[in-house]
């Protein structure tokens, strides 16, 4: 059972929920941005925004003006805490079954409390969150309209993440955390976005993803695009100058909202 420890007394602008999760065995904070003219008698499109590794649910609100995006696009924005889960159900840690939390506890709460247009539910994220957004979309296409990923960690490859961990943290912090989620490195590749799609050849949905050319994850993003082209999956890939940082994500995320607006269903 999901118990709500805190709930805002109004449904306007920014608020925070605390969900007492029986699946994750912890209290999970969730930041919500409502259109300023939100009314319960009207349904609104919904965007889940997933944060990156080593960050938390407040990251998107620091990178960009989420309230402005909610107002401009008339969309509800949900920013859940993702910890270092990579937004999946860990095969080695029973307290890190994030995908189960997402669909069994978070999603029911969202639809119970908010006026959501069920035909227009989107998801995006950065880095770890970009991976999580695509993975959740591919595995649950019936729930989402479409998805986005910016600087997504789309390729679960130990040889890729080890030098990245050393560059950003000067140690093996990131790969150590991935072992706790995915198990030994020889099992990681099965969780790459290309591997998931290879196992689901019925999937042919459009989505948007991007990566800066100076980003250490650029080549894996380009490799994913090549695979998508080969499999005739109509994904939109955007690239240009930029590296793995907040300045790039502040510029990239508006393109996702434009893409989502273009894909709105009546």
Give residue 161's pLDDT. 96
Give residue 211's pLDDT. 99
Compute the distance between CA of residue 42 and CA of residue 32 in angstroms, rounded to an integer: 17
Domain boundaries, the chain: 3-262
Give residue 12's pLDDT. 54
pLDDT at 57 over 90: yes
Helix ranges restricted to H, the chain: 59-63, 66-73, 98-101, 107-113, 128-139, 158-169, 173-182, 193-198, 218-230, 246-262
Q: Which of 262, 263, 265, 261 is nearest to 75 (CA)?
A: 261
Judge contact between 141 and 103, C-beta under 8 A.
no
Q: Which residues contact 85 (CB under 8 A, 6 or more apart)?
A: 96, 98, 132, 181
State pLDDT tens for residues 178-226.
999 999 999 999 999 999 999 888 899 999 999 999 999 999 999 999 9
Compute the distance between CA of residue 212 and CA of residue 244 in angstroms, rounded to an integer: 7
CA torsion angle 260 49 138 100 (round to 10): -140
The residue ranking higher by pLDDT, 7 or 34, is 34
State pLDDT tens for residues 150-178.
999 999 999 999 999 999 999 999 999 99
Range 11-20, long-range pairs (CB < 8 A, 24+ positions): 11/38, 11/40, 11/114, 12/36, 12/38, 13/67, 14/61, 14/66, 14/67, 17/109, 19/105, 19/106, 19/109
Q: Which of 33, 26, 12 is nearest to 79 (CA)?
A: 33
CA-CA-CA-CA torsion sign (247, 210, 123, 38): positive
State pLDDT tens for residues 246-263.
999 999 999 999 999 999
Q: Which pair of structure tokens corresponds to residue 156?
A: 């679960």
| Exposure class string for 55-84: b at 16+ Cβ within 10 A, else e | bebebbbebbebbebbbebbbbbbbbbbbb
Provide the 10 A C-beta neighbour count for residue 21: 22
CATH topology of domain 3-262: Rossmann fold (3.40.50)
pLDDT at 9 over 90: no
Give residue 201's pLDDT. 84
Range 168-172, long-range pairs (CB < 8 A, 24+ positions): 169/54
């Amino acid at each position: 059972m999901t118990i709500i420890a805190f709930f805002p007394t109004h449904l306007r602008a920014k608020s925070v929920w605390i969900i007492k999760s029986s699946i994750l065995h912890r209290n999970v904070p969730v930041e919500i941005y409502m259109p300023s003219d939100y009314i319960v008698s009207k349904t609104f499109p919904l965007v889940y925004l997933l944060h990156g590794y080593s960050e938390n649910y407040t990251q998107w609100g620091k990178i960009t003006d989420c309230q402005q995006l909610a107002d401009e696009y008339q969309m509800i924005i949900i920013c859940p805490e993702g910890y270092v889960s990579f937004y999946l159900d860990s095969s080695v840690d029973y307290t890190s079954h994030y995908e189960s939390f997402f669909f069994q506890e978070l999603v029911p709460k969202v639809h119970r409390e908010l006026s959501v247009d069920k035909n227009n539910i989107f998801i995006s994220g950065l880095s770890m969150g970009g991976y999580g957004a695509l993975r959740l979309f591919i595995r649950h296409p019936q729930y989402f309209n479409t998805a986005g990923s910016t600087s997504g960690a789309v390729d679960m490859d130990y040889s890729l993440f080890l030098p990245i961990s050393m560059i950003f943290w000067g140690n093996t912090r990131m790969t150590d955390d991935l072992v706790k989620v995915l198990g030994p490195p020889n099992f990681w590749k099965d969780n790459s976005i290309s591997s998931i799609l290879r196992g689901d050849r019925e999937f042919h949905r459009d989505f948007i993803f991007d990566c800066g050319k100076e980003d250490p994850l650029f080549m894996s993003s380009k490799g994913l695009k090549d695979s998508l082209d080969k499999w005739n999956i109509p994904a939109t890939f955007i690239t240009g100058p930029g590296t793995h940082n907040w300045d790039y994500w502040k510029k990239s995320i508006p393109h996702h909202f434009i893409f989502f607006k273009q894909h709105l269903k009546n």
